[in-house]
């Protein structure tokens, strides 16, 4: 009974029950006061139970509890949980982030009309992800996987009054489903090869039989689903558009559920991929491309949530790259640390957007948020530092471990990654270069984002001496002249700002009030600029204190986790021994010496190699220096102009949407048009033609019906004569 | 005995009957022509019955049967002709074409019957 997997069986049922109860409440329209409790308490209880499972599992061997669901005649179907270190750790991540999101939503979404159904869907989402994490049977995993796809559709389309939310939800659903088709086929291939849908026989089959036939085909097909869910090229486009959903949903999708599922599945079935070099190459190339292009896109975005979305794509690509380079431990480590700080960043972005009424960083720059939102300022700074990879935050350690793995694979130095062999050194070089480039770009866009959010671009100590504007209205006009050439919004924004400054001239008192509210005299012009953007009707800024405790609490907790979590990777084997071996066995010296482990004992470490760390830190510093020098060179402008010609395509996501449109959408539409033509013109033509022909025949025969009996008789007689003649002379 | 004479006679009778049936306008004459047809067939039946030495005499049985049917048919036909004559004042068969289709070949469009005057009930409903 005390097996961890027995407890794990019941964990997904808690959020599931919560979802059912919330759905009942949303139908009956009664008991709405109980909704926050119904949403938060079961999720929190599930989170606590995931910790129980984690510590119950400890560093032991994988445990499994299952019941046979159906005897199929072929591979049997099982309902059950398989707990190894990987599942236990990821379940903790899911539980913690889901609880934080539910708690945060209590106040963040309270004013929403559809709050009840929203929380019900979050609970269902969480339950589905926990099913994916714990499931022992790949078909059960697929059920959770698809339920997540449906939930993401509903949640991204939460504001279905807005057309972009509707189209984003449909896009997310279709693009991920596109990847799910090969995913299902891959599962069937693997199950056919191993004779079972369960994880363990499939992994053992891969270890003992090597990577040919069904295993290789299954691994390559599975990548389709991984690319869809984890937003890798060529299926990456849904994730930035998914920002149309509420911000807590973005936190949930980006940190713990949905996108993590793709990386998780590769890690869980890792030996299957390890023995298939072709699959590793596909993963590495897609991930390297995705990491760099998404980081460039993040650098060029103007919307805060889109910056974070592209950074998620880029960081997920780093995890996939680490998996391709043989670094399962590093990838899972980064998945967990990224889950923490990305949830933190999204939740903080929610506070910022509610406070300022806009997500545009150009406008946010003028809001003086550092003074208005002190807690958010500190926590966001921690989150961005972790994202950039600054020590001592968690992102530093996890990224260094990825760089270290890539370096060791590239040079084929260090201990062998597994008894199944180390991936080719070409993958290592590819991943190493991508990691370093992404590190540089990540540092650059993190600094830029931080600066745009919290520090006015034209600080006095950055810009040339400038005569202080005499009236706030003139100051606003000057700010307009300064900002507009940089922001590329052209004449429209200029007109808006000038109009706002004219308004300000007519009502000087109001602008002075805003300017004073913004703080110091230096920032008076900035304050007027804030009035201008508010005058554009960008949104409904929230007034009053920074944010409710239910929103700040998760921020502080996640920031604390982000600060300390990295150190678990430092000690030789803390994180790695929790994570266990790739086939689910615990790390034990005896087993390692007997050669029973996939990963030799030496591979159980995440502390980075000195040279790769040095390179990564250099890339980080280079990125920071790039943005800082851009800020110094031309104060008051967006530092992403250093991208030069790349900026515009990067902002559009390198026109991946157009490519998908040309490759997939338009051919499908053409085929649909052809089918419509075939149906309406060809098939219906026959049907309608038979009707028309019989009408015409009837019309002709009607004409013969004269009513003259003798004419009829003549006809009959003629017929008889003809038949008789035919019979008589035809012989 | 040769079968030629009765068979020839039957053929001639049949031909006369066909001619009368198709050409004569008077309905009574058409009925008489039909009688000729039937009797030509009777003659054939009797002839072949004798020729084939039919021991059961089926040809003769059929002949008697046919005579009975022809008598009944003539009675019925004459009754119809009588009603036709009473209603229309003529027994010309090619004037009785009410069952023909509108606009059929060689048929003038029949005058549409005048609609019956609206009854009291209909007026009440219309109000």
Alpha carbon of B42: minimum distance to chain A alpha carbons (Å)? 20
The better pLDDT of the pair A145, A424 is held by A145
Alpha carbon of A667: minimum distance to chain B alpha carbons (Å)? 55
Q: Please enumerate in sequence order all residues whose Cβ is within 8 A of that of A202, keeping only pairs 6 or more positions apart, or say none.
A: A138, A190, A191, A193, A194, A196, A269, A272
B103–A713 C-beta distance less than 8 A: no
B21–A703 C-beta distance less than 8 A: no
| Cβ neighbours of B15 in A, within 8 Å | none
Alpha carbon of A691: minimum distance to chain B alpha carbons (Å)? 21
The domains of chain B, with CATH numbers, are: 4-106 (1.10.287.3510)
Q: How far apart are CA A192 and CA B81, in angstroms?
A: 88
pLDDT single digits (tens) A316-325: 999 999 988 8
pLDDT band for position A515 (cuts 50, 70, 90): very low
pLDDT for residue A522: 32
Q: SS3 sequence, A395-424?
A: HHHHHHHHHHHHHHHHHCCCCCCCCCCCCC
Q: How far apart are CA A598 and CA A29, in angstroms?
A: 55
Closest residue, chain B, to A717 (C-alpha): B18
Most A-contacting residue of B11, B97, B98, B108 (CB-CB within 10 A), to test interface: B97
Alpha carbon of A709: minimum distance to chain B alpha carbons (Å)? 7
A706–B97 C-beta distance less than 8 A: yes
pLDDT band for position A518 (cuts 50, 70, 90): very low
Q: What is the DSSP letter of A73?
A: S
B105–A710 C-beta distance less than 8 A: no
pLDDT band for position A127 (cuts 50, 70, 90): very high
Q: What was the ipTM of the complex prediction?
A: 0.78
Query: Is the pLDDT reported for residue A473 higher than 50?
Result: no
pLDDT band for position B69 (cuts 50, 70, 90): very high
Check CB contact of B22 with chain A, cutoff 8 Å. yes
- For residues A173-200, give the mean pLDDT: 88
Query: Is the pLDDT reported for residue B64 higher than 90?
Result: yes
Query: Is the pLDDT reported for residue A505 higher than 80?
Result: no
B22–A713 C-beta distance less than 8 A: yes
pLDDT band for position B37 (cuts 50, 70, 90): very high
Q: Please enumerate in sequence order all residues whose Cβ is within 8 A of that of A361, keeping only pairs 6 or more positions apart, or say none.
A: A302, A303, A304, A307, A449, A452, A453
Check CB contact of B106 with chain A, cutoff 8 Å. yes
The better pLDDT of the pair A173, A473 is held by A173
pLDDT for residue A545: 66
pLDDT single digits (tens) A299-348: 888 888 888 989 999 999 999 999 888 888 888 889 999 998 999 999 98
A703–B101 C-beta distance less than 8 A: yes
- Counting Cα atoms < 13 Å in the Cβ hemisphere of A379 gives 28
The better pLDDT of the pair A731, A707 is held by A707
Listed range (A126-135, A557-566, A696-705, B98-107) with the worst mean pLDDT: B98-107
Closest residue, chain B, to A706 (C-alpha): B100
A717–B104 C-beta distance less than 8 A: no
Query: Is the pLDDT reported for residue A584 higher than 80?
Result: no
Check CB contact of B98 with chain A, cutoff 8 Å. yes
Check CB contact of B113 with chain A, cutoff 8 Å. no
| Cβ neighbours of A705 in B, within 8 Å | 99-101, 104
pLDDT single digits (tens) A349-392: 888 888 887 777 777 777 777 777 888 888 989 999 999 888 88
- For residues A38-67, give the mean pLDDT: 85
Alpha carbon of B50: minimum distance to chain A alpha carbons (Å)? 25
pLDDT for residue B82: 93
Listed range (A8-17, A67-76, A296-305, A318-327) with the worst mean pLDDT: A67-76
Listed range (A498-502, A574-578, A711-715, B68-72) with the worst mean pLDDT: A498-502
Q: How far apart are CA A431 and CA A285, in angstroms?
A: 8
pLDDT for residue A641: 75
- For residues A124-133, give the mean pLDDT: 92
Alpha carbon of B106: minimum distance to chain A alpha carbons (Å)? 7
pTM above 0.90, yes or no: no
DSSP string, A174-243: HHHHHHHHHHHHHHHHHHHHHT-SBHHHHHHHHHHH-S-THHHHHHHHHHHHHHHHTT-TTS-THHHHGG
């Amino acid at each position: 009974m005390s097996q961890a997997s027995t407890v794990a069986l019941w964990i997904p049922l808690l959020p599931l029950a919560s979802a059912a109860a919330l759905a009942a409440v949303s139908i009956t329209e009664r008991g709405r006061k109980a909704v926050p409790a119904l949403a938060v308490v079961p999720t929190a209880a599930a989170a606590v139970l995931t910790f129980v499972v984690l510590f119950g599992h400890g560093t032991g061997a994988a445990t499994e509890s299952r019941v046979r669901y159906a005897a199929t005649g072929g591979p049997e179907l099982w309902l059950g949980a398989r707990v190894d270190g990987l599942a236990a750790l990821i379940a903790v991540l899911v539980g913690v982030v889901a609880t934080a999101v539910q708690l945060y939503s209590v106040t963040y979404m309270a004013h929403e009309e559809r709050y009840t159904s929203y929380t019900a869907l979050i609970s269902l989402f969480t339950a589905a992800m926990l099913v994916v994490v714990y499931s022992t049977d790949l078909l059960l995993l697929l059920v959770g996987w698809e339920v997540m796809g449906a939930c993401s559709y509903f949640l991204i389309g939460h504001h279905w009054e807005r057309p972009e939310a509707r189209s984003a939800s449909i896009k997310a659903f279709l693009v991920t489903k596109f990847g799910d088709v090969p995913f299902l086929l891959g599962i069937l291939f693997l199950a056919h090869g191993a004779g079972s849908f369960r994880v363990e026989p499939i992994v053992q089959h891969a270890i003992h039989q090597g990577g040919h036939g069904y295993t290789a085909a299954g691994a390559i097909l599975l990548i389709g689903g991984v690319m869809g869910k984890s937003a890798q090229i060529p299926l990456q486009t849904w994730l930035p558009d998914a920002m149309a959903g509420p911000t807590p949903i973005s936190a949930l999708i980006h940190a713990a559920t949905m996108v993590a599922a793709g990386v998780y599945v590769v890690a869980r079935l890792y030996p299957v991929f390890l023995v298939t070099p072709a699959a590793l190459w596909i993963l590495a190339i897609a991930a390297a491309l995705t990491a760099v292009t998404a980081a460039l896109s993040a650098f060029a975005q103007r919307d805060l949530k889109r910056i974070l979305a592209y950074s998620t794509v880029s960081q997920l690509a780093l995890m996939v790259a680490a998996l391709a380079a043989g670094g399962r431990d590093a990838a899972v480590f980064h998945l967990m640390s990224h889950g923490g700080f990305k949830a933190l960043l999204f939740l903080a972005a929610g506070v910022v957007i509610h406070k300022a009424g806009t997500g545009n960083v150009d406008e946010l720059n003028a809001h003086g948020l550092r003074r208005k939102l002190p807690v958010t300022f500190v926590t966001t700074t921690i989150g961005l530092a972790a994202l950039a990879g600054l020590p001592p935050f968690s992102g530093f350690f996890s990224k260094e471990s990825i760089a270290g793995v890539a370096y060791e694979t590239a040079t084929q130095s260090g201990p062998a990654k597994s008894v199944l062999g180390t991936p080719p050194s070409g993958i290592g070089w590819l991943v190493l270069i991508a990691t370093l480039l992404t590190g540089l770009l990540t540092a650059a866009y993190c600094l830029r984002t931080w600066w745009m959010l919290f520090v006015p671009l034209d600080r006095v100590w950055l810009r040339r001496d400038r005569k202080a504007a005499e009236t706030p209205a003139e100051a606003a006009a000057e700010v307009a002249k300064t900002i507009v050439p940089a922001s590329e919004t052209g004449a429209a924004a200029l007109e808006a700002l000038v109009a706002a400054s004219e308004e300000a001239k007519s009502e000087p008192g109001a602008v002075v009030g805003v300017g004073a509210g913004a703080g110091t005299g230096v920032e008076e012009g900035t304050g007027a600029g804030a009035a201008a953007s508010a005058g554009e009707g960008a949104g409904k800024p929230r007034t009053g204190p920074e944010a409710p405790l239910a929103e700040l609490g998760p921020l502080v907790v996640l920031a604390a986790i982000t600060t300390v979590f990295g150190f678990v990777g430092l000690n030789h084997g803390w994180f790695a021994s929790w994570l266990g071996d790739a086939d689910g066995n615990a790390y034990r010296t005896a087993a390692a010496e007997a050669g029973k482990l996939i990963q030799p004992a030496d591979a159980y470490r995440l502390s980075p190699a000195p040279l790769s760390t040095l390179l990564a830190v250099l890339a980080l510093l280079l990125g920071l220096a790039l943005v800082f020098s851009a800020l110094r060179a031309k104060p008051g402008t967006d530092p992403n102009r250093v991208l030069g010609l790349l900026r515009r395509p990067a902002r559009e996501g390198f026109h991946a949407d157009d490519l998908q449109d040309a490759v997939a959408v338009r051919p499908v539409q053409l085929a649909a048009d052809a089918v419509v033509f075939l149906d309406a013109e060809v098939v219906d033509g026959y049907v309608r033609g038979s009707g028309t022909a019989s009408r015409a025949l009837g019309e002709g025969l009607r004409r013969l019906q004269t009513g003259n009996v003798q004419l009829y008789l003549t006809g009959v007689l003629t017929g008889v004569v003809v038949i008789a003649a035919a019979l008589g002379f035809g012989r | 005995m040769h079968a030629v004479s009765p068979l020839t006679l039957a053929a001639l009778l049949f031909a006369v009957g066909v001619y009368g049936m198709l050409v004569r306008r008077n309905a009574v004459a058409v009925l008489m022509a039909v009688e000729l047809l039937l009797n030509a067939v009777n003659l054939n039946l009797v002839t072949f019955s004798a020729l084939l030495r039919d021991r059961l005499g089926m040809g003769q049985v059929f002949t008697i049967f046919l005579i009975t049917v022809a008598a009944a048919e003539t009675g019925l036909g004459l009754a119809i002709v009588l009603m036709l004559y009473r209603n229309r004042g003529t027994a010309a068969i090619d004037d009785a074409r009410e069952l023909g289709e509108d606009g059929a070949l060689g048929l003038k469009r029949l005058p549409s019957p005048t609609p019956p005057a609206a009854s009291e009930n209909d007026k009440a409903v219309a109000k």
